[in-house]
Amino acid sequence: MNKKVILENLGQKDYKETWDYQEELFKGIVDTKIDNRRNGSELETPNYFLFVEHPHVYTLGKSGDINNLLVDDKVLQEKNATFYKINRGGDITYHGPGQVVGYPILDLDNFFTDIHKYLRFLEEMVILTLAEYGLKAERSEGETGVWLDVGTPFARKICAMGVRASRWVTMHGFALNVNTDLGYFDMMIPCGIRDKAVTSLNVELGKQEVDMEEVRQKLLRHFQSLFEAKIIKEKAPIQ
């Protein structure tokens, strides 16, 4: 089992370009697995972890309801935002500047073949990271992602998650609000869940801005520990 993970920080990158790149990496892993099975070979499958920051964009998962986007194309244009229907699970999600977005593209045969465990580990990675900032984050039963003050009238979501998996290969991932403009969440029903607020790390800490690279490094450290993975390569940001 190959537990080495290639880390790439893509910097600020268009959502569609990043999605296409994910699909390319995903297909490469799946094709290797198919070849191994057909030919009886044992070629090693690679794993990737992409960090990226997107321009304003709304994405709707396979099971999502378009009515959860509350504005039309004209308003999206005025807000310099785009919209895509995509092939992950979940409902509607917003990505934008000030958000740490992570896309682990892993062959789970290298780690464990359990999608629920995979999602719980991603949540735990975020929970442990937020704990380093003094925040008690937790899961909300039946709702994927990471929340604060679960079970109270003040429950609010700080990290959204949505993944796709085929032949135990994953793509898509998580979006952690760090210095995010929360006003963009007013144009949708986040994850299709009504009456639940959204927050960000800088708001919770009462800071104008939180160091995003510091957040990324904390996430990576917990990812490596939980998945018993080894980061083997880091590329410079692509502009």
Q: How, if at all, do strands 82-85 and 57-60 pair?
A: parallel
Tell how far CA 234 is from the center of its chain.
18
Q: Has 165 been labeled as part of a binding site?
A: no
The CB density around residue 82, as the number of other CB atoms within 10 Å, is 18
Residue 161 annotated as binding?
Answer: yes
Flag whether 229 is marked binding.
no
89 is in an annotated binding site: yes
The C-alpha angle 113, 138, 115, rounded to 5 degrees, equals 10
Radius of gyration of the chain (CA): 18
Q: 196 by DSSP, 3-state: which? A: coil
Q: Is 65 annotated as a binding residue?
A: no
| Token pair 């917990």: residue | 222
134 is in an annotated binding site: no
Q: Which of 25, 159, 176, 191 is catalytic?
A: 191
Is 191 known to be catalytic?
A: yes
Is there a binding annotation on residue 172? no
Q: Which residues are catalytically annotated?
A: 191
Binding residues for substrate: 88-95, 160-162, 173-175
Binding residues: 88-95, 160-162, 173-175
